[in-house]
Amino acid sequence: MILNRQQTKWTMGTGAGSLVALLVYVVYATLSPNGPRGGSLMGLVFASLGTGIIVFECLLGLRKKYPASPLGRVKTWLRAHVWLGLASFLAILMHSGFRWGHGLAAILMWIFLVIVISGMFGVALQNYIPRRMTELVTRETIYDEIPTVVRGLRTEADERIEFVTADLGVDEELEEFVRAGGVKQYFDPAQKKSAAEKIAAVVERRKSSPQIEIPPEAREAIRAHYLQEMRPFLIDEPAALSRKLFGAREKVAAYFAHLRTIMPVASHDLLRDMEGILEERRQLMVQKRLHLWLHTWLLVHVPISYALLVLTAVHAVLSLRY
């Protein structure tokens, strides 16, 4: 949830409601001869208010599963979730007379505190990470499509390098495609099967003669750099060495600037293309890391929220019975 001027009404409303409840608590605490107690009438009112909000908070996950439901917009539920969640913590504190308690009551208060802190941390991430991602990831894609995009970048890089090396000795072709010497050609699967000898001859010719002529030693150097350093970065989970080598925009730029100083001019356009491919892969790695940060906090916030709901029910039963 993004904090902006649209939150003003919720901020003002929740603040005003909390202030009224706090004033009622002050009057109740002042007039109570034995001080505020959780088992008193007002204590139970505050407990019911806080528990009701907790139940509502836990319904957010169910509401998200049915976005077309007529029960209000998901954005409205999110705003209510944040602001009422803070108000519920105050209500529970007033129920306990601002005492932490002991035993199960203390456990509940600690769990509730962790929920509030993790929720505030999550809201902070939701306001920071999207802006940061816009700054760092200019080639953002759909998160679930990242493995497919990476595979496409690797195929594109193979094709580019083969303009110089002709045959890389790697084969990741789909059944209906043939790639050789930097050229990818589509064949109908049936046609590919019936014309196997003709296709094999075309492939062999392309693999034997590069389309960009450079000295043999430069060709072998580019092949080695690609297979040993660049291509290992173009996979779903690059190794630590690859992440260290291409883990920053400046490192990618410096790597290819160095190659362009030692490689023939004829290969410079190819190396610029490769720089763009590896920079896009680096940005996808950044996007994945930021996405995990944006959602990992929910692994703490959501389970303990349901645990709080269950333990609150146990606490209520035990309190009313004993």
* Concatenated DSSP letters of 68-97: T-SS--HHHHHHHHHHHHHHHHHHHHHHTT
The torsion angles phi and psi of 264, rounded to 5 degrees, stand at -60, 155
The residue ranges of the chain whose pLDDT is under 50 are 174-178, 180-182
Helix (H, G, I), strand (E, B) or coil at 4: coil
Concatenating the DSSP letter of every residue in 51-64 gives: HHHHHHHHTHHHHH
pLDDT in tens, 123-132: 999 999 988 9
Cβ-contact 300, 118 below 8 angstroms? yes
pLDDT in tens, 10-45: 899 999 999 999 999 999 999 998 889 988 999 999
Position 174 scores a pLDDT of 46
Q: Which amino acid is at 121?
A: F
